[in-house]
C-alpha cells in the first residue's frame, strides 16, 4: 500500500497528471471511472486566484466522485502562494500540489513552474512555508533540472522531503527539453533508490502502455506512475495498464460504443458539472 499523508492508495497507484485545458472535472471523472487512483486539477495560477480571476477560480471546482483529488498551484511569490493555500483549502481538496515543472515560457518567465529550478533555495523556502500553512498533504511535481548541467533532482527531492512534502512526481526531462526527445528515468530511479527517501516517488514521462509501465516499475522501482499525454482522448489507459499488471495480457481496446458513450458522458458532464 502507498500513502500520501493519511491517504491510502493501492499498491503501485496510477495518477492522472495535471494538464492545462485537459484535466477539467469531466475528464478527471472519466479517468477515475477508467482506473486512475489519484487525479489532479489543471494548474492554477496563484496570482490569478488572489485577484479572483474567473478562469483561475473555476479550476477549483472538484466533486466527490473524483476523490482523492489534488489541486495544483503555481507561482513564485511567497505571499501570493500562502494566500492561495488559504483560498484552495476552502474547496476541500485531498492534496495540494505545487507545480515546479511547467516548462511553458509565460510561466517560466515569471520564475514559476520549471523556472524555479534555477533557484533551488527559493524552491525550498517556498515549499517549507506552504507546508507550514496547511494541514493538507503537500506534494510536488517537478523535472530533472533546468538543463543538462543542472540535473539536481536527487538532492532536491531529498531536501523537499525533509521540509515536509508527502510525495514527489518527477517528469524525466529538463525544462530545456520541453516535451522533446525521450524521457530519462535514470535519475527518477536514483531518487527512489536513495536510501534516505521515505516518501512515495512517482515517475512521469512517455508511459503509454502496460508493458512500458511494467518495464519502468521493475527497472526503476518507483512507487507509482503519473500519466499525462497518453490519457488525452484515451482515459482507458489506466485500466489497460492495471489489466496488464494483473494478467500479463493486453486488454481489448474500447469499442466504438464505448468511445461514443465516453464522448457523450464527457459532453453531458461538461454541460452539467
The residues annotated with a catalytic role in the active site are: 102
Residue with cell string 476552502: 90
Mind giving me the DSSP string for 158-201? Answer: HHHHHTT-SEEEEESS-TTTTT-S----HHHHHHHT-TT--S-E
Contact 140, 165 (CB under 8 A): yes
Taking the C-alpha atoms of 166, 90, 58 and 128 in order, what is their torsion angle to the nearest 10 degrees? -30
Phi and psi at 170, nearest 5°, equal: -125, 125
Q: In the 8-state DSSP scheme, what is residue 9?
A: E
Contact 87, 53 (CB under 8 A): no
* Residue 14 β-bridge partners: 225
Amino acid at each position: 500500500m502507498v500513502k500520501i499523508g493519511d491517504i491510502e492508495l493501492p499498491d503501485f497507484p496510477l495518477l492522472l497528471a495535471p494538464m492545462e485545458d485537459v484535466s477539467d472535472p469531466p475528464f478527471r471523472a472519466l479517468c477515475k471511472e477508467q482506473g486512475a487512483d489519484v487525479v489532479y486539477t489543471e494548474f492554477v495560477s496563484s496570482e490569478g486566484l488572489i485577484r479572483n480571476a474567473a478562469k483561475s477560480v473555476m479550476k477549483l471546482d472538484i466533486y466527490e466522485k473524483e476523490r482523492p483529488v489534488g489541486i495544483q498551484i503555481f507561482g513564485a511569490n511567497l505571499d501570493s502562494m500562502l494566500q492561495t493555500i488559504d483560498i484552495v483549502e476552502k474547496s476541500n481538496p485531498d492534496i495540494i500540489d505545487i507545480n515546479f515543472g511547467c516548462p511553458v515560457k509565460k510561466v517560466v518567465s515569471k520564475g514559476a513552474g520549471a523556472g524555479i529550478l534555477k533557484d533551488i533555495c527559493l524552491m525550498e523556502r517556498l515549499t517549507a512555508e506552504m507546508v507550514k500553512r496547511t494541514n493538507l498533504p503537500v506534494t510536488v511535481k517537478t523535472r530533472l533540472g533546468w538543463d543538462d548541467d543542472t540535473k539536481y533532482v536527487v538532492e532536491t527531492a531529498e531536501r523537499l522531503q525533509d521540509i515536509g512534502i508527502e510525495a514527489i512526481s518527477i517528469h524525466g526531462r529538463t525544462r530545456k527539453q520541453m516535451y522533446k526527445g525521450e524521457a530519462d528515468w535514470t535519475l527518477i530511479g536514483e531518487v527512489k533508490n536513495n536510501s534516505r527517501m521515505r516518501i512515495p516517488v512517482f515517475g512521469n514521462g512517455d508511459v503509454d502502455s502496460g508493458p512500458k509501465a511494467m518495464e519502468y516499475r521493475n527497472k526503476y522501482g518507483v512507487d507509482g506512475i503519473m500519466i499525462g499525454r497518453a490519457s488525452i482522448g484515451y482515459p482507458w489507459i489506466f485500466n489497460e495498464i492495471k489489466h496488464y499488471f494483473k494478467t500479463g495480457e493486453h486488454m481489448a481496446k474500447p469499442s466504438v460504443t464505448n468511445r461514443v458513450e465516453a464522448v457523450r458522458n464527457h459532453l453531458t458532464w461538461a454541460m452539467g458539472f
